[in-house]
Structure 1
Amino acid sequence: MSELSCDIGIGGMTCASCVARVERAIAKLPGVESVSVNLATESARVTWAASSPDEDAQTQQARLRRAVRDAGYEPLAAEHLEQGPVGAWVGFAPVAIGLLLSGPLILPMLGDVLGQHWMLPALWQFLLATPVQFVLGARFYKAGWYALLAGSGNMDLLVALGTTAGWALSVWLWLTAPVEAMVHLYFEGSAVVITLVLLGKWLEARAKRQTTDAIRALHALRPARARIITSDGEVDIPIEELLVGDRLVVLPGERFAADGVVLEGQTQVDEAMLTGEPLPVHKNVGSRVTGGSINGEGRVVMRVRATGTTTVLANIIRLVEDAQAAKAPIQRLVDQVSAVFVPVVLVLALVTLLAWWFTGHSVEVSLIHCVAVLVIACPCALGLATPAAIMAGTGVAAKYGILIKDAQALEVAHQVDTVAFDKTGTLTIGQPRLLSLHDIQDIGASTTHALPMLSLAASLQSGSEHPLAHAVVQAAKAKHMDHVAPEAVKAVAGFGSEGVVQGRRLLLGSLRWMTELGVPAGEWQARAAALQAEGATVSIMAERTPQGVVALAVLAFGDEPKPGVHEALTKLRARGLCLAMISGDNVGAAQAMAARLGLHTDEVHAEVMPGDKAALVKRLQRNVGGAPHVVAFVGDGINDAPALAAADVGLAMANLNADGQRGGTDVAMQAAGITLMRGDVALVAGALDISARTVAKIRQNLFWAFVYNAAGIPLAAMGYLSPVVAGAAMALSSVSVMTNALLLKRWKP
């Protein structure tokens, strides 16, 4: 049984109750395993189990669309967020009509302030208010009716009931009043409430478009066409027709249409969309280029390596969309409240009506206070509080190269009190160089006399992808030494590699491995200890002989800290965070590097095997006698994936290797909740900071949404708020939540 997932757009949702109803409708479908509806993006992320090979994605999506329509909403294409920017006044026409029709109705209110009596005849009030009530307000009746059919309620039902009650009361008072009598009617209340609600929804829609700017901007990075080289010359084709292996011509100022490698020419490339780094990157023959990045001053020819959904840009878009579609754990509270909110409000409105009536007030007065309760109690703000903040936070973070994969990582990251770093490639450049090679047979010999041994080592290591192996090969190339292809190469995880070179079975790896293999003690041990004391990473090359494994040479490697790491770690410590460095190096080498990085001795964990990193992270999480620590782990390779998954928050660092490729970063990205798109440790503080600010906005929004209803409903029930004031306050609550969330767009790391 396979698992499938898809996104579907949903039009017509207005509040948290709508979200709950759509989720219930979709969850009832057979095979659906999970559904998450997002009010801010007006979309749903659905995962289901296909019961048979014949049940494809298209069939299930048809069922999803039918369920959405049966629930009273409009199924939309998931690509509705990809549309380009629209005009600032789009969708304002109904609001403008409502304002024109409601304006004359509220003139008497202004006239009373000026001492004038501008009351319109009842017939004119009826003619102005009725189109607003039943034409402009038709959307509320439609959505409210579907809510009733589904046995639930929503904002539309509250507005429809409240305004209809005000309109019907006015008609009844008008028709039952004595001839020529001047009776106070409430047509203006119903018309103005509907107009204000429409105005609030229009302002809310404008704000929503701003929260989805990040997704739209990412989609806009993809050029529509590409220029390929064929046997007939250069031909423009849509990028949807690109194939892996095609050769493309990219002119200065154009965007690269796909991921690939440069075949001809050199240029500077703006990769800010990928890394958040504004400085251009030099590219020449053999360099990797990423689709969506901007070519500089040079004309280049590239070969396509990835297209469509397999490109780096597509992966970035998918990560941002996943984060914005997901629900934060705090949203569960909102879902629970919204499930009972509207029924409770209806009961409170009925209690308000009866209470005023039983205390001697007229039906007219009682009904007006009941209407005020119905109008002000809108769950819109509750439904928008969390997703609006998450969308704004993840969007601005992506702009600066911080990709937040899921909402849970975003919510937990601000609680982190301990940050653990993998050393190689994360805190250091990750491209160690060979400092020295010492022949065991002549321990005092210089490197010059050890060149033949270097050739053997380079031959063995040419079959390995390990950074230390690469350093040996590069050192041999620098000495213009030839090396031969090894045979029967075998990597021994966590120890080194073994292979046959010119008939000799050679091994090259760690001191621990040599000890386990029983290499005879000798003078090489003192040399290795001395090099480790100096901070070098030491490997031993040995040979399997009939007499056993014999040491041949001692190799010393060194790495360099990344620029700015010392300052970045100092800032993290200033935030009150505990730091830890995890390294597979020996204690001496790890401590020496830690000193250069500004880390303390007790913050270093050395000689940690790749498979033991996850266990160490779990040990850091435990706090004997106190609350457990919240640990973030920062790594960049395949062997960091278990630790990234074990940490409370995993941060994968997307380093580029010497060939311009991301190496094991793709695996790390899948295990981590947050991806840093460039190898800058300073982004760790940025990720924690945007988490704290986003969670703060969520809490502010939820606080004001709850307080607004907690204060507004009693005030309306006690008669301190008229329906018009209640409608204005209700519209303002949703707009204020969206505006508060949009303040996150001003954030910079």
Structure 2
Amino acid sequence: MNNEPTTTSIDLGIGGMTCASCVARVERALKKVPGVAQATVNLATESARVELRVGEPAVGGGPVPADNMEARLRRAVRDAGYEPRAADAMLRPGEQSRWQGFAPIAWGLALSVPLVLPMLGELLGYHWMLPALWQFLLATPVQFVLGARFYKAGWHALLDWSGNMDLLVAVGTTAGWALSVWLWLTAEPGAMVHLYFEGSALVVTLVLLGKWLEAGAKRQTTSAIRALHALRPETAHLVGVDGETDVPVEEVLPGDRLVVKPGERFAADGVVLEGQTQVDESMLTGESLPVAKEPGSLLTAGSINGDGLVHMQVQAVGADTVLSHIIRLVEDAQAAKAPIQRLVDQVSAVFVPAVLGIALVTLLGWWFSGHSFELSLINAVAVLVIACPCALGLATPAAIMAGTGVAAKYGILIKDAEALERAHQVDTVAFDKTGTLTVGKPKLLELAPVPGGDRTEALLLAASLQSGSEHPLARAVLASATKEGLPLATPTDVSAVPGRGMQGVVQGKTLLLGSLRWMESLQVELGSLAAQAALWQSQGSTVSALAERVAQPGARPDEGTVVLRALMAFGDEPKPAAKQALAELRARGLRLVMISGDNRGAAEAMARQLGLKPEDGEVLAEVLPGDKAAQIAQLKQGGHTVLMVGDGVNDAPALAAADVGMAMANPDGGGTDVAMHAAGVTLMRGDPLLVAAALDISARTVRKIRQNLFWAFAYNVAGIPLAALGFLNPVFAGAAMALSSVSVMSNALLLKRWKP
């Protein structure tokens, strides 16, 4: 029996969090639940991702309860004073009224304005001051009914021996309200005393207004994921034994046959069986032009059918579709914490206790220096109100959400916040050649048999040997043989020789087909074709050789002499935008390198077409697939930060070895899933220009994070001393605190304007 612990994760929505201190409290509460390995809470998405160790003994002995874990986590959240919700509560599609949740603010304004107007009147020489009883009756509902949320959350924070924004607001405004009541009740009969009911009421209302504006901005930052969720249609037209019926998408199974009508969204991933159409895949790939589809073409859930009716066979549904993978990637990126956020968490953990200490020092300092207790308390209240660390908690996640969301809109999927933060530090970009910088569909340009040999027979043997191979060069040979109408023979004993080629038996002949480097190791003589091979290589062609093993009488078949039968020249062409993409990256001051398995002549010829400089070491040629990761490790030596861009299965180790891996989707989807899992960034279409775009949005997002953190700290660093020295009254402090959160969110939302 296997008792090894396994790891799984649960996502939760959490309501009622207001600042960075709340995040720390919820994380502590979740980590106390037996079986929790790690808990990451995101203030901007109001969610938590909890990593669980199932099957491991709990602290203090006894097994970790594997069942009802979500219920236990929800209870921990509630006991900490917050509201557990569905994980996707903020992300569910559907139009929400922009005025949703405004009612408490409207009541707060209605009750606070009569308190504030007399103050404004006094500035103009009018005396409209309300009687103390009226001020009390207007301010008290704002303080204790509309402000009840602050007391509830602040009380839970005190029970946990920690602090949060709500505690600061509750303590500060209650002090102002209580001072006003005390001044009113101890005043001489008929005397007009200055009360501070309007300050407390207005601070509560302004904080509520700030949270409402912040919630609206949060909804905008999650709009990218909500838009992706909305791509899923609710029904599909299933073709069954009884004809066509409409079924919920949840009931569609792999292997089902669906009809998709013009203008409808595809309900699942699959392949076209009948019909032709144009498909809009822009929401998935960022490509605005429709893509032609015919029988055999791949279809992606969420894309929009054009003007043709098609029949499709379902290959993947639900969580296995490309759309679900994209949503998961974007959600993961927005849920993860950037390394810079860890510093913010450490600061926020001591921030609220420090502010309470500063407020106490302010109160005592003013009082002991001979000022009235009334003035001393007002200045202490201003310190408490200005210091709320809302902006600090939102600075990083808001920018990450906006940046990753707008990137996904244009087909750039950023896997996690760490990849985002590392990408802007890149100084070296390494490209795999085939399929990344080139089209990746080489053609057989020429075939030269040995003197006295037959070209058609050589092509037939080469195509037959490779008839089951998916290698790009094999496809090129098969395409040529098909074009010439050659009847292929069935090969036997076929085996691949990794990084070199393949061998097998065709029509009784033991054949070997692969690189010239392999032929050289087998001591195959090129004879009169050596000059031809050199010429083709100098022109940028990839050269392969077809050879036959001729067994000597009495010897084993694998001991015979290998003799050349023919040479083949293959040519690929650069992607249309590849040269421009490399020029843009060079203009950013980046070092460029192309990694290729081709011989040096062919690799350098292609590099020059792309604008690369082989003489400056920008070409690494004759690199076996298994050696790409080692080449990346070598590039990283000397402190360089390396980005690797690749598209296939054999690029996955190199993508993982690089500081940042960038997987480029290829049109047929082959190997892309493997590369996506290894890479920190995935480009949903094979456009090299997206590499520079991904680096650009990364740099802009990190810049926004730094700007937000600067402003969040600046508000507090400048505001707390001003309040402590008596230059800020609580009302202005409340307005500044609300403004700090809104400005941080608004600054992050500027990223939504970005276009590649």
TM-score bucket (shorter structure): over 0.9
Determine if the alignment matches structure 1 residue 518 to structure 2 residue 541: no
Cα distance in 2 between the residues matched to 1:364 and 1:52: 58
Determine if the alignment matches structure 1 residue 506 to structure 2 residue 511: yes
Q: Report the equivalent of 1:286.
A: 296
> 307, 312, 316: which one pairs with 2:322?
312
**Aligned to 2:339, what secondary structure does the other structure show?**
coil
Listed as ranges, the matches of 1:682-697 within 5 Å are: 682-697=689-704
Q: Report the equivalent of 2:468.
A: 463
| Alpha-carbon shift at residue 530 of structure 1 (Å) | 2.3
**Aligned to 2:88, what secondary structure does the other structure show?**
helix
Q: TM-score, normalised by structure 2?
A: 0.96
Cα distance in 1 between the residues matched to 2:179 and 2:491: 93
* Bigger mean CA offset, 358-367 vs 25-34: 25-34
452 and 57 in structure 1: CA distance in 2 versus 1, 3 angstrom threshold: farther
Listed as ranges, the matches of 1:557-636 within 5 Å are: 557-601=570-614, 602-623=617-638, 628-636=639-647
Structure 1 unaligned spans of 5+: none
Determine if the alignment matches structure 1 residue 728 to structure 2 residue 738: no
| Alpha-carbon shift at residue 21 of structure 1 (Å) | 0.7
Cα distance in 1 between the residues matched to 2:99 and 2:336: 30
2:31 corresponds to which letter in structure 1?
A: A
- 8 Å Cα contact 1:463-1:485 kept in structure 2: no
Cα distance in 2 between the residues matched to 1:56 and 1:242: 34
**Aligned to 1:78, what secondary structure does the other structure show?**
coil
Cα distance in 1 between the residues matched to 2:750 and 2:44: 16
| Alpha-carbon shift at residue 370 of structure 1 (Å) | 0.5
Cα distance in 1 between the residues matched to 2:114 and 2:526: 101
The number of residue pairs the alignment matches comes to 736
Cα distance in 2 between the residues matched to 1:69 and 1:174: 39
Cα distance in 2 between the residues matched to 1:697 and 1:87: 28
- 8 Å Cα contact 2:526-2:564 kept in structure 1: no
1:358 corresponds to which letter in structure 2?
A: F
- 8 Å Cα contact 2:427-2:591 kept in structure 1: yes
| Alpha-carbon shift at residue 503 of structure 1 (Å) | 2.2
- 8 Å Cα contact 2:281-2:287 kept in structure 1: yes
- 8 Å Cα contact 1:4-1:57 kept in structure 2: no
1:643 corresponds to which letter in structure 2?
A: A
* Bigger mean CA offset, 46-55 vs 640-649: 46-55
Q: 1:525-572: CA deviations, max 9, x gaps?
A: 333222212211011111222132222111111101001111111111
Cα distance in 2 between the residues matched to 1:390 and 1:268: 34
Q: 1:443-486: CA deviations, max 9, x gaps?
A: xx7xxx40111011001111211111111111100111111232
> 648, 661, 679: which one pairs with 1:650?
661
- 8 Å Cα contact 1:463-1:489 kept in structure 2: no
**Aligned to 1:498, what secondary structure does the other structure show?**
strand
Cα distance in 1 between the residues matched to 2:674 and 2:166: 46
**Aligned to 2:278, what secondary structure does the other structure show?**
strand
Q: Report the equivalent of 1:638.
A: 649
| Alpha-carbon shift at residue 27 of structure 1 (Å) | 1.4
Cα distance in 1 between the residues matched to 2:348 and 2:67: 32
* Bigger mean CA offset, 507-516 vs 193-202: 507-516
| Alpha-carbon shift at residue 620 of structure 1 (Å) | 1.3
> 29, 34, 55: which one pairs with 2:33?
29
| Alpha-carbon shift at residue 85 of structure 1 (Å) | 2.4
* Bigger mean CA offset, 604-613 vs 516-525: 516-525
Cα distance in 2 between the residues matched to 1:431 and 1:34: 45
Cα distance in 2 between the residues matched to 1:678 and 1:134: 56
| Alpha-carbon shift at residue 198 of structure 1 (Å) | 0.2
Q: 1:635-656: CA deviations, max 9, x gaps?
A: 0001101111111111100011
Q: Report the equivalent of 2:80.
A: 71
> 738, 743, 749: which one pairs with 2:750?
743
Determine if the alignment matches structure 1 residue 665 to structure 2 residue 672: yes
| Alpha-carbon shift at residue 518 of structure 1 (Å) | 2.7
Q: Report the equivalent of 1:296.
A: 306
- 8 Å Cα contact 2:431-2:594 kept in structure 1: yes
Cα distance in 2 between the residues matched to 1:720 and 1:330: 33
Q: Report the equivalent of 1:357.
A: 367
Q: Report the equivalent of 1:490.
A: 495
- 8 Å Cα contact 2:17-2:23 kept in structure 1: yes
Q: Report the equivalent of 2:557.
A: none
| Alpha-carbon shift at residue 417 of structure 1 (Å) | 1.2
Q: 1:131-182: CA deviations, max 9, x gaps?
A: 0000000000000011111110000000000000001111111111111111
Cα distance in 2 between the residues matched to 1:21 and 1:501: 70
Residue identity (%): 72
Q: Report the equivalent of 1:704.
A: 711
**Aligned to 1:79, what secondary structure does the other structure show?**
coil
Determine if the alignment matches structure 1 residue 548 to structure 2 residue 558: no
Cα distance in 2 between the residues matched to 1:500 and 1:55: 58
Q: 1:554-605: CA deviations, max 9, x gaps?
A: 1111101001111111111111111110000000000110111111112111
Cα distance in 2 between the residues matched to 1:22 and 1:523: 76
Listed as ranges, the matches of 1:164-563 within 5 Å are: 164-442=174-452, 449-520=454-525, 522-546=527-551, 547-563=560-576
Listed as ranges, the matches of 1:88-127 within 5 Å are: 88-127=98-137
1:365 corresponds to which letter in structure 2?
A: L
| Alpha-carbon shift at residue 401 of structure 1 (Å) | 0.5
2:624 corresponds to which letter in structure 1?
A: M
Cα distance in 1 between the residues matched to 2:648 and 2:158: 54
1:585 corresponds to which letter in structure 2?
A: D
52 and 344 in structure 1: CA distance in 2 versus 1, 3 angstrom threshold: closer
Cα distance in 2 between the residues matched to 1:375 and 1:418: 47
> 62, 65, 74: which one pairs with 2:71?
62
Determine if the alignment matches structure 1 residue 42 to structure 2 residue 46: yes
User: What is the RMSD computed on CA atoms of the aligned residues?
Assistant: 1.3
Cα distance in 1 between the residues matched to 2:748 and 2:331: 18
Determine if the alignment matches structure 1 residue 14 to structure 2 residue 18: yes
| Alpha-carbon shift at residue 515 of structure 1 (Å) | 1.8
- 8 Å Cα contact 1:441-1:552 kept in structure 2: no
Q: 1:243-298: CA deviations, max 9, x gaps?
A: 00111111110000001111111111001012100100111111111110000001
| Alpha-carbon shift at residue 58 of structure 1 (Å) | 5.7
1:510 corresponds to which letter in structure 2?
A: S
Structure 2 unaligned spans of 5+: 58-62, 552-559
